[in-house]
Amino acid sequence: MAREFIVEADGGSRGNPGPAGYGAVVIDAATGETLAEAAEYLGVVTNNVAEYRGLLAGLRAAHALDPDAAVHVRMDSKLVVEQMSGRWKIKHPDMKPLATVASRVFPPDRVTYEWIPRAENKHADRLANEAMDAGKRGEQWSASTSTAELDTRASAPPAERGPERPRVTGDAVAGAAAARAALAAPRKGRGAGTSAAPPRGHDQPPLTGTVTTTDGTTADTRAARTVATPGWSSAPDLGAPATFVLLRHGETPLTPQKRFSGSGGTDPALSEVGLDQARRVGEALARRGTIEAILASPLTRTRQTAAAVADRLGLDVTIDEGLKETDFGAWEGLTFGEVRERHPDDLTTWLADPQAHPTGGGESFAETATRIAATRDRLVAAYAGRTVLLVTHVTPIKTFVQLALGAPLQSLFRMELSAASLSAVAYYADGNASVRLFNDTSHLRP
């Protein structure tokens, strides 16, 4: 008999858009026991995007526990519940790809949705607020310091937090019977509490955020299985991964001088060296013969690099705004030494805090990471099982790698990425990611 889970999820944004985070909890529908928690600080996004990210995290955590389970989702977001049940249309471009990916975590006939009042979603709400508080401190949420479940139990009616149910959360026990009834009810398609998109197996993008179970040693085992061993799974139907081949553009006149060159500067073109590098990459990729589509950042240097490769491979180039470089504000065109001389305090803060912005505005690394994560989710859904060339820049490529490894944002400062280098990340249908290549420049050698 299939296991039955309740997923409670929430997301919040302090400003809408503003600093945001999500929380999600997986509960045993039979006992009300908390099985897993997930939370993550997202940077600056809207409240609705944060709610969808919470839903995704909850579904992925449930899938990691048992990919064959039946799931009843309870959320206090009427929008998400109605859209995922197929009763409301999804019009916002930021939410369409998230809803599509959420619908593919489990087969649609195994997921039902229910709206609940905010007062009945306290556990997930507290996790989301913990994540936002951690982000304000420049940290990510940590399960080891979370008190969300204890706080929720403390606020629950005495009958729900007695010693006979040591890990009951909120009113999960009170709702478990209703959830089991919903899970057992026959599915009647959209409008009957099922998910919104047609079945596509278990396709889903990589797991983000932090997932933990509440049972000590088991938590370590599950975390190792779902996070620390990317690319491996016992599921028999993973199929081919979505593989992103990440190509940094060729040299520009600013590259050898190591000047900041983001999306807010002069938008330099490739130098003669850069044009030759682009041709060499095209030849190398033609020999490999695996690229099925090409996407590029809208900046001149990436468009030129992509055009040279596309000409050799006989493919078209699709421009994607999500792949553009970070905006470095007033630092555009300056060397690191010049920035240190002119803006020492701003540079020190920027190096220590992923939330900090370059002088004069621009984009923080945390904001870039949020943008790249959304781009990744959208493209993984669009190119499942295919190998795609993404022609982009230093910070986006490092961020794709950082997210795949689950490393902190500070790891971006510990990666070296050469002009016209190739890296690759594979995204599997069970939610794992595997870094297959990094900073390969062998094609540039004589």
The whole-angstrom separation of Cα 269 and Cα 251 is 9
Tell me which of 8, 37, 51, 325 is the catalytic residue. Answer: 325
Which H or E run includes 71? strand 70-75
Active site residue 114: no
Tell me which of 72, 123, 202, 249 is the catalytic residue. Answer: 249
Cβ neighbours of residue 237 closer than 8 Å, sequence gap 6 or more: 201, 202, 429
The whole-angstrom separation of Cα 177 and Cα 68 is 20
Residue 242 pairs with which residues in a beta bridge? 427
DSSP secondary structure letter of residue 130: H
Active site residue 63: no
Residue 75 phi, psi dihedral angles, 5° rounding: -140, 155
First to last CA, the chain: 61
The whole-angstrom separation of Cα 182 and Cα 176 is 10
Q: Is the dihedral of CA 188, 191, 192, 196 positive or negative?
A: positive
E strands in 321-429? 387-392, 422-427
Cβ neighbours of residue 306 closer than 8 Å, sequence gap 6 or more: 247, 294, 295, 296, 317, 389, 391
Residue 403 pairs with which residues in a beta bridge? none
Active site residues: 249, 325
